[in-house]
Structure 1
Amino acid sequence: MGLLTIGAFAKASRLSPKALRLYDELGLLTPTRVDPVSGYRLYAPELLEQARLVAWLRRLGMPLARIQQVCTLESAAAAQEVRAFWAQIEADTAARRDLASFLIDHLSWKDPAMSPTTKPLGIRYAALSDRGLVRESNQDTAYAGSRLLAVADGYGSAGAPAGAAAIDALKRLETGGIPSGELLNVLEDAVEQAKRAVNGVAGPGSSPEEAGTTLTAMLWTGSQLALVHIGDSRAHLLRDGELFQITHDHTVVQSMVDEGRIGPEEAVSHPQRSLLIRALGHGADGTTDMRLHDVQQGDRYLLCSDGLSTVVRTEEIRRVLREVGEPEQAVRELVALANGSGGPDNVSCVVADVVELQQ
């Protein structure tokens, strides 16, 4: 078969002549020959496979620069790159879905306090932070109050003040009511203040390694809990005896699991399991996850740093949360479990129970 005209090649590859001209200019899909008189582009049939790949990747929404990179790879590596790209699209979509869910819940939810038959609920809470058995200092911060629950795991030379600064910035949420319809804006403003506070710890011109922190916090609204999360500290919910992780780790290893590059079992011992892709700090991606949780009487929430979750099995965490009645005793036992497993890191825990208020 001879060379194909641009029209024939466009029809066979399902790319428009306009797109083919653009891809030629970008060096993405170079024609085999250009007629010196007419300027017509002519394509060898062997280029159809690459052109069809370009067409399908464009339908996925992949940027042209990334398509150009994929086209230079061997099949296996190209497949991996497409998998990684799509995992990122799904992560971005999930973040938007969470925000949409937050807005839908917030706009459509009716406060049960309006009903005379609804029993008022509150939270009973405790927090504990421990240096562990190996680290020389404690860069974790744990806080529990009547409205705010929070854990921050600082990193870098100024990690401890960075984590403390992030939580201090949120403590203003403890006082004063939140006007109807303002919850999302209030949370967003508080997170921005936390970011500024963390950046202020290291000072201008500092490197990303000098001060940063994770932040996992929940705000009690009187009938719901609003979650703010970034990094690899975690929030769990114990409901009806079952334990659910309600946050998603923002780590390199978790992204590798999401993309199918490694399995969950490999992630547990992976050497990069603590490398963050999102955090509060200079140069870090500070995009936080936010969502609302409708609560039930009897719910128990756990917020913890990775000093607990990386060394204590989920089954053991669930056992403590199920069997230990008081939050104060629960946080002590969880910290003791982490230290009993070697205590390689700082460990912080917040336990909060949703209880009926006595009238």
Structure 2
Amino acid sequence: MTTLSAAASHVGKVRANNQDSGYAGEHLFVVADGMGGHAGGDVASALAIQSIAHIDRPFDTASDAAAALRDALLEANQELAETVFEHPELAGMGTTVSGFVRVGDRLALAHIGDSRVYRWRDGTLTQMTKDHTFVQRLVDSGRITAEEAAVHPRRSVLMRVLGDVELSPEIDVEVLETRPGDRWVLCSDGLSGFVEEDRIGELLDENPDAGAAVEALIDESLDHGAPDNVTVIVVGVDDTPSSSAGLPQTVGSASRPLSYVSPTQRRSARLPALLLHPLTPVTDPEDEYFEPESEELLAELLAENKRRKVRRRITWSVGLVLIASLIVGALVAGYQWTQSRYFVGVSNGQVAVFQGVQQGFGPFPLSSVYFESDIDIDDLSPFSRERVESTINARDLPEALSIIDRLQDELD
């Protein structure tokens, strides 16, 4: 009898420990790829899986499942942040998460990071998630091609993860259609970073049994050197409501008891080196880093080549008038930009939404109170109070107000 779903995780040929985790249940299937050093990556991916696994249950609609899955990922993010608060030696840990809940002929999918979900249908493999990486942004903006992205020196820089970076990270959530005969592959970049998609499709075609397919995909990654951990889940779809063929299966670091490393055991933290999952073997495979999403950083990197061209074309004949105009225009545009930003902080002892940015221009502040809530800063938990006092950035006003709502929910 053909097995519909299976999961497995392998440490790879270079790393000393497995920082991946995976869960294949009755309705829920999810992969997490952790980062943050020898212990942090293990803890991050395992905590994420444990925080999400409770929604492995039937849902009335795929929309309900999608909302529950998104909330579970946000709860996992909060759990990771609070763990770092209690264990400062784990600062900087994070994890990617890609998974879905099956509801009949629909899948509620949620995704953050660069782990992937593929669909195999009628002999064609299709990537259903978009990597949250710097090079993917370059591809989307037309700066480079997909082929150039595969060899780009910053191809492993993540822009979004779950962790202690953002209180409310942006998570991709969507509902997809599925049908009998489809096969779905969830994997960490230990597979997608080393095995071509055409080859993944060939191995799925050659191995109708999910267990055999998982084993073949991991073996293929190992044959390519596999310097990274590799985790694979294969899910087949038939006419039954779920895709499970047995008891829930947990793999990777989530399958073992959590282990925290004391501060004296951890190496001193170093500044992010813009490396997360190296695509070639490195001297110390335990060093992993990520760069949180920053619109300013991204804009700077994307505009790098353009500024070089502009500087080459500028001549002294432009004149002082044009230079003065550019300066004035930049100041005006800069001020307008600051007023499009929002953050959550403290005003008169209350949690408030500020319009602008925290920095000032000399003696002139660049922010003002937009909305002062009824939440007393002293009523918050020590963790939340510290985050608010340090200010929490928001991409826009709705997100800032949603942060206020989440803090209010904490008090209710």
Residue in structure 1 matched with residue 24 of structure 2 by the alignment: 144
1:34 aligned residue: none
Tell whether 2:34 aligns with 1:154. yes
Which residue number in structure 1 is paired with residue 231 of structure 2? 348
Is contact 2:27-2:58 (8 Å) kept? no
Aligned to 2:111: 229
1:279 aligned partner: 161
Report the CA distance shift for 1:209/1:270 in structure 2 as closer, same or farther (over 3 A): farther
Letter in 1 for 2:208: G
Which residue identity does 2:202 align to in structure 1?
R
Q: Distance between the aligned counterparts of 1:232 and 1:248, measured in 2?
A: 8
Amino acid at match of 1:244: T
Query: Does the alignment pair 1:264 with 2:173?
Result: no
Instruction: State how far apart, in whole Å, the 2-side matches of 1:167 and 1:228 are.
Output: 13
Structure 1 contact 235–301 (Cα < 8 Å) conserved: yes
Please report how far the alpha carbon of residue 205 of structure 1 lies from its aligned counterpart in structure 2 after TM superposition.
8.6
SS class of match (1:296):
coil
Q: For residues 213 and 181 of structure 1, do their structure 2 counterparts lie closer, same or farther at Cα, with a shift above 3 Å needed?
A: closer
> Does structure 1 residue 242 correspond to structure 2 residue 124?
yes
Pair 1:323 & 2:206 matched:
yes
Q: 1:317 to 1:184 in 2, by over 3 A?
A: closer
| Alpha-carbon distance change, 181 to 229 in structure 1, aligned in 2, over 3 angstroms | closer
Q: 2:64 aligns with which of 182, 205, 226?
A: 182
Measured in 1, the distance between the counterparts of 2:208 and 2:152 equals 35
Identity between Structure 1 and Structure 2 (%)? 39
- In structure 2, the CA distance between the partners of 1:262 and 1:181, relative to structure 1 (3 Å rule), is closer
3-state SS, counterpart of residue 237 of structure 2? strand
User: How far apart are residue 184 of structure 1 and its match?
Assistant: 3.9
**Residues 116 and 188 in structure 2, CA contact (< 8 A), matched pair in contact too:** yes
Equivalent positions of 1:1-359 (< 5 A) are: 124-157=4-37, 158-175=40-57, 177-178=59-60, 182-203=64-85, 206=88, 210-284=92-166, 286-357=169-240
Preserved CA contact (<8 Å) 1:217 1:227: yes
The aligned counterpart of 2:304 is: none
Q: CA RMSD in A?
A: 2.2
In structure 2, do the counterparts of structure 1 residues 300 and 181 end up closer, same or farther at CA, with 3 Å as the change threshold? closer
DSSP 3-state at the match of 2:205: helix
Q: Give the CA deviation at 1:356.
A: 2.6
- Structure 1, residues 63-93: CA drift from partner, whole Å, max 9, x if none? xxxxxxxxxxxxxxxxxxxxxxxxxxxxxxx
Output the CA distance in 2 between the equivalents of 1:305 and 1:209.
22
Computing the radius of gyration from Cα coordinates, the structure with the larger value is: 1
Structure 1 unaligned segments of length 5 or more: list them: 1-122
- What is the DSSP-based 3-state SS (H/G/I as helix, E as strand, rest coil) of the residue aligned with 2:213? helix
Distance 1:133 1:217 in 2: 26
Q: Deviations over 1:253-273 (max 9, x none)?
A: 111111122221121122221
Q: 1:192 to 1:323 in 2, by over 3 A?
A: same
Whether the 8 Å contact between 2:62 and 2:106 is mirrored in structure 1 is no
1 CA distance for matches of 2:146 and 2:27? Answer: 34
In the aligned structure 1, how far is the partner of 2:164 from the partner of 2:47?
14
Quickly say closer, same or farther: Cα 1:179–1:300, change in 2 above 3 A: closer
Q: Which runs of 5+ in 2 are unaligned?
A: 242-412
2-side partners of 1:174 and 1:252: how far apart?
Answer: 32
Distance 1:229 1:174, change over 3 A: same
| Aligned-partner residue type, residue 276 of structure 1 | L
Name the CA shift for 1:247/1:176 in 2 (closer, same or farther; >3 Å).
Answer: closer
**Contact map agreement 2:65 2:101 (CA 8 A) in 1:** no
Structure 1: which amino acid aligns with 2:230?
Answer: V
The structure with the largest helix share of the pair is 1
Equivalent position amino acid for 2:80 in 1: V
Q: For residue 143 of structure 1, what is the amino acid of its counterpart?
A: Y
The whole-number CA distance in structure 2 between the counterparts of 1:316 and 1:294 is 25
Q: What amino acid is aligned across from residue 192 of structure 2 in structure 1? A: S
